[in-house]
Amino acid sequence: MVEVPESHPRYESLKTRESLVEGVEKGITSKAGLIAHGRGEMFDYLLGERTVETAEKAERKALAEMLEADDPVISINGNVAALVPAGIVSLADKVDAKLEVNLFHRTKERIERIEEELKKNGAKEVYGKKADAEIPGLDHDRALCDEDGIFSADTVFVPLEDGDRTEALKDMGKKVITVDLNPLSRTAKSADITIVDNIIRAVPNMIEFEPFYGEFDNKDNMSLTLKGMSERLISLSEKVE
């Protein structure tokens, strides 16, 4: 892993990239995950690489939903395991949620390595290896899940998710929460609660924040997020010389 000096103006961004590269080398992150991160990073620029007010509200509401759920599950992919392994374990402890590994590029080795990484960071139990159930309507490996994990959950937190599984989980009657820097993605538009934030900020925020139990309209919150991004882009364009 390349050492990034803290004095570098892009320190946080470069450190995150190096964590993902290390994740690939460990067999945790897929190479496609690097591309997905790069796409999200572009949207982060439009947020000003900070947690905006709408993201904070969604994070607080997501906490409330998971705390009120009967059987919440946090779905883990390679990028999540590489970027916030300790944080996601702490969040699961805070909301009493199960952790389940679910991968598009699924191999037995990757499942085991992600499980090992989570346990190294404090997880007591990690679901996903049994794969004794399937999410209806999906034709790829992300349909595979544990019957006593995602399959039976009432609320699923799917950070850095793909849209077809979000829609399939919704069709099963589950509440779906996502973290997605792209507010235009199918995932973002399909979820019940969409957190438009970088996962390296969102997870620590949710560990620290208090839950919000008031009224929350995801579509309105998303509209305000897009409006904020648009206004920031216009502002930046006016400063170009």
Angle (nearest 5°) at CA 112 between 111 and 117: 100
Please report the pLDDT score of residue 19 as a whole number.
84
Q: What is the residue range of 161's domain?
A: 53-210
Q: Is residue 239 part of a domain?
A: no
* Closest C-alpha to 135, from 117, 152, 155, 122: 152
Q: Is residue 141 part of a domain?
A: yes
Please report the pLDDT score of residue 37 as a whole number.
75
* Residue 219, H or E segment: helix 218-238
Q: Is residue 172 part of a domain?
A: yes
> SS3 of 176, please?
strand
Q: Is residue 13 part of a domain?
A: no
Please report the pLDDT score of residue 140 as a whole number.
82
Question: What pTM did the predictor assign?
Answer: 0.92
Please report the pLDDT score of residue 4 as a whole number.
67
Here the CATH number for the domain that contains residue 127 is: 3.40.50.12640
pLDDT-flagged residues of the chain (< 70) = 1-2, 4-5, 7-9, 11, 161, 241
Please report the pLDDT score of residue 1 as a whole number.
58
Q: Is residue 20 part of a domain?
A: no
